[in-house]
């Protein structure tokens, strides 16, 4: 009997393949030009894309809060552990 690979979020081999292919694409292609080619050509196509995005978001469980924490700029200095008597 052969040992089966872990699939789903634990599939590290698939993650490595994806990362390698993505890096190769970015290195070997004009990403800006690809983005322009992928943009909607008509207002109807743009509406279709928005509708598809909304449909996907309705099925989503929500954004991972960890993503929001990593991306949020630290705009205010921490006052934890500091006392002020101004």
Kindly state whether residue 86 falls inside one of the protein's structural domains: no
Asked, for residue 21, whether it belongs to a domain, the answer is yes
31 belongs to a structural domain: yes
Residue 38 has a pLDDT of 94
The dihedral built from the CA positions of residue 27, 28, 33 and 36, taken in this order, carries a sign that is negative
Q: Is residue 3 part of a domain?
A: no
Residue 49 lies in a domain: yes
Domain carrying residue 54: 11-71
* Number of domains the chain is built from: 1
Please tell me the distance from the alpha carbon of residue 27 to that of residue 78, in angstroms, as a whole number.
39
Residue 5 contacts residue 11 (beta carbons within 8 Å): yes
Block means of pLDDT (10 residues each) for the chain, 86 residues, are: 61 90 96 95 97 90 72 57 54
66 within some domain: yes
């Amino acid at each position: 009997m052969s040992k089966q690979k872990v699939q789903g979020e634990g599939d590290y081999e698939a993650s490595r393949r994806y990362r390698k292919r993505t890096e190769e694409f970015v290195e070997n292609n004009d990403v800006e030009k690809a983005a322009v080619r992928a943009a909607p050509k008509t207002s109807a196509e743009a509406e279709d894309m928005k509708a598809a995005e909304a449909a996907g978001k309705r099925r989503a469980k929500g954004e991972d809060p960890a993503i929001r924490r990593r991306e949020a700029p630290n705009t205010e200095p921490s006052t934890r552990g500091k006392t002020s008597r101004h």
